[in-house]
Structure 1
Amino acid sequence: MTGVAAPATAFASQAALVAEEPAPVDMGPAEETVNTAPPAEPEEAGLETPTEPDPIETGKPPADTESGDYCGATQRVYIPTSKGGTYHEGVGPTNSNYNGTSRVVRSTFTSEVTGEVGVSVTAGLAPSIDVMIAKLEAKYEVNLSAKLTAKLGNTVSVDTPSKRSTSAKYGVYRLKNTGTSYSVYSNCTSSAKKTVTSYSPLKVGWYLWES
Structure 2
Amino acid sequence: MSQACIPGYQYHATSKGKNYHKGVGAEQANYNGTSRTARSTFTSETEGEVGIGVSGELKVTGKAAVIEIEGKFGVELSVKLRTRIGNSIRVDTPSRKTTFARYGVYRLKSKGYSQYVYVNCTKGVKHNTTLYTPRRVGWAIWER
Q: TM-score, normalised by structure 1?
A: 0.63
1:110 equivalent in alignment to 2:110 = no
Mind listing any 5+ residue stretches in structure 2 that lack a counterpart? none
**C-alpha contact 2:10 2:114 (8 A) present in aligned 1:** yes
After superposition, where does 1:5-24 map in structure 2 within 5 Å? none
| CA spacing shift, 1:72–1:141, aligned 2, 3 Å | closer
Give the Å deviation of 1:189.
4.0
Cross-structure match for 2:125: 192
**C-alpha contact 2:25 2:45 (8 A) present in aligned 1:** yes
Aligned amino acid, residue 85 of structure 2: L
Partner of 1:163, secondary structure, is coil
| CA spacing shift, 1:126–1:206, aligned 2, 3 Å | same
What is the alpha-carbon distance in structure 2 between the residues aligned to residue 206 and residue 188 of structure 1? 46
Matching residue within 111, 119, 127 for 2:60: 127
Q: TM-score, normalised by structure 2?
A: 0.91
Mind listing any 5+ residue stretches in structure 1 that lack a counterpart? 1-68
1:207 equivalent in alignment to 2:140 = yes
What is the alpha-carbon distance in structure 2 between the residues aligned to residue 116 and residue 83 of structure 1? 23
Give the Å deviation of 1:169.
0.6
Larger % of strand: which?
2
Cα deviation digits, residues 13-68 of structure 1 (max 9, x gap): xxxxxxxxxxxxxxxxxxxxxxxxxxxxxxxxxxxxxxxxxxxxxxxxxxxxxxxx
Aligned amino acid, residue 106 of structure 1: R
Partner of 1:204, secondary structure, is strand
**C-alpha contact 2:5 2:117 (8 A) present in aligned 1:** no
**C-alpha contact 1:179 1:197 (8 A) present in aligned 2:** yes
What is the alpha-carbon distance in structure 2 between the residues aligned to residue 84 and residue 112 of structure 1? 30
Larger Rg: 1
What is the alpha-carbon distance in structure 2 between the residues aligned to residue 186 and residue 138 of structure 1? 25
Count the aligned residue pairs.
143
Root mean square deviation of aligned Cα: 1.7
